[in-house]
Amino acid sequence: MRIRKDKRRPSAEGAAKAVFTFCGFVAVFAAASMTLYLIVKGVPALCKVGWKEILFSGEWKPVAEDPAYGILYIILTSVFGTGLAVLMGVPMGILTAVFLAELADGKAAAAVRTAVELLAGIPSVIYGLLGMYLLNPLMYRLERKLFAGSRTHQFTGGANLLAASLVLAIMILPTVISISETAICAVHPAVREASLALGASPVQTIFRSVLPAARSGVAAAVVLGVGRALGETMAITLVSGNSVNLPLPFRSVRFLTTAMVSEMGYAQGTHREVLFTIGLVLFVFILLVNILLNHMVKRRMTEE
Counted domains in the chain? 1
pLDDT at 177: 94
**Under a CB-based contact definition with an 8 Å cutoff, are residues 228 and 124 in contact?**
no
pLDDT at 1: 47
User: What CATH number has the domain bearing residue 291?
Assistant: 1.10.3720.10
Residue 300 has pLDDT above 90, yes or no: no
Residue 302 has pLDDT above 90, yes or no: no
By three-state DSSP, how is residue 69 classified? strand
Residues in the chain: 304
Is 157 within the bounds of a domain? yes
- Tell me the mean pLDDT in the region 272-298: 84
Is 88 within the bounds of a domain? yes
Is 143 within the bounds of a domain? yes
pLDDT at 133: 93
Q: How far is CA 233 from CA 72, 159, 228, 262, in A?
A: 18, 15, 10, 10
pLDDT at 18: 87
Q: C-alpha angle 223/281/249, rounded to 5°?
A: 70
Q: What is the pLDDT of residues 144-197, one digit of tens each?
A: 999 988 888 888 888 999 999 999 999 999 999 999 999 999 999 999 989 989
**Under a CB-based contact definition with an 8 Å cutoff, are residues 54 and 291 in contact?**
no
Is 32 within the bounds of a domain? no
- Domain of 150 in residue numbering reads as 48-303
Is 15 within the bounds of a domain? no
Q: What is the pLDDT of residues 125-134, one digit of tens each?
A: 999 999 999 9
- β-partners of residue 68 are 61
Query: 197 burial class (0-12, 13-18, 19+ CB within 10 angstroms)?
Result: exposed
Amino acid at 303: E
Amino acid at 173: L
By three-state DSSP, how is residue 253 classified? strand
Q: How far is CA 96 from CA 88, 103, 181, in A?
A: 13, 10, 8
Q: Which of 287, 284, 272 is nearest to 45 (CA)?
A: 272
Q: What is the pLDDT of residues 5-17, one digit of tens each?
A: 555 666 778 888 8
- Tell me the mean pLDDT in the region 64-83: 91
What is the CA 280 to chain-centroid distance, rounded? 16
Residue 60: which H helix or E strand, with range?
Answer: strand 60-61
Q: How would residue 23 be classed by pLDDT, with cut points 50, 70 and 90?
A: very high
Gap between the Cα atoms of 253 and 237, Å rounded: 9
Is 93 within the bounds of a domain? yes
Q: What is the pLDDT of residues 75-88, one digit of tens each?
A: 999 999 999 999 99
Is 154 within the bounds of a domain? yes
Gap between the Cα atoms of 81 and 83, Å rounded: 5
Q: Which residue has the higher pLDDT, 94 or 2?
A: 94
Q: What is the pLDDT of residues 210-249, one digit of tens each?
A: 998 888 888 888 888 888 888 888 899 899 988 889 999 9
Q: Which residues, including other chains, have CB under 8 Å from residue 117's CB and lie 6 or more apart?
A: 174
pLDDT at 76: 93
Mean of pLDDT over the chain: 88
Gap between the Cα atoms of 19 and 121, Å rounded: 30
Model pTM score: 0.86
Residue 32 has pLDDT above 60, yes or no: yes
Is 17 within the bounds of a domain? no
